[in-house]
Amino acid sequence: MATYTPRLTRLIDALRRLPGVGPKSAQRMAFHLLDRDRDGAAFLTTTLAEALTGIERCPRCRMFREDSRCSYCGDARFATGQLCVVEHPADLIAVENTGSYRGRYFVLMGRLSPIDGIGPAELGLDNLAAQLTDGDVRELIIAINPTVEGEATAYYLAELARARGVAVTRIAHGVPMGGELEYVDGGTLARALSGRMPV
């Protein structure tokens, strides 16, 4: 079995921390950066260091920001009275890219999972509860992935909002645009049927 130098081993181990990167991919990346793209490696190092020191989480919506003003917490967004709860920053970007939502966000950075030690405190739900109590939020939109943990999280969020007199809605799940019913799985079709709307 091949052995690496200590620094090369640390580089490969560091690259393996990235999602979806296994040992072979990490080795390939490390060899590429060292052998063919040392300028790219230096750029990556500098950019990563700048990101770690210059990007923080907004204390209100928990999305990443670079200065004291968060682009997702402006006055125009407050005026809508809507607050959309998502699991991860990538989910916020996905909703934002639709161009059909103009309200505020709250990023959980995960979902309830007692088995993994993730409870309400880890998701910042005390912060969310305070925002719901302020009276600025008239509608809480739950945009959580429909997994087992996601369903539990959505239920918890709905109860949190209802207890404070805030209306609760949830994004629709079901048959995708352009999809054919014969190819849709039973769970998705059942959800689509239960969430049907009048036309």
Contacts of 55 (CB under 8 A, 6+ apart): 64, 65, 66
- C-alpha dist (Å) from residue 10 to 6, 16, 26: 6, 10, 11
Residues 57 and 63: beta-carbon distance below 8 Å: yes
User: What is the Cα 107 distance to its own chain's centre?
Assistant: 6
Separation CA 197–CA 59 (nearest Å) = 37
Separation CA 103–CA 96 (nearest Å) = 10
pLDDT, position 159:
95
The domain segmentation of the chain, as residue ranges, is: 64-170
Separation CA 193–CA 186 (nearest Å) = 10
- Look at the domain 64-170 and name its fold: Dna Topoisomerase Vi A Subunit; Chain: A, domain 2 (3.40.1360)
pLDDT, position 173:
79
Residue with the two structure tokens 């060899």: 31
- What is the 8-class DSSP label of residue 37? -
pLDDT, position 190:
78
- Run means of pLDDT, 10 residues per run, the chain, 199 residues: 85 95 95 94 95 94 91 90 95 92 95 90 94 93 90 94 94 78 76 71
DSSP string, 127-157: HHHHHHHTT--SEEEEE--SSHHHHHHHHHH
Model confidence pLDDT, tens digit, residues 95-138: 999 888 999 999 999 999 988 999 999 999 999 999 999 989 99
pLDDT, position 106:
97
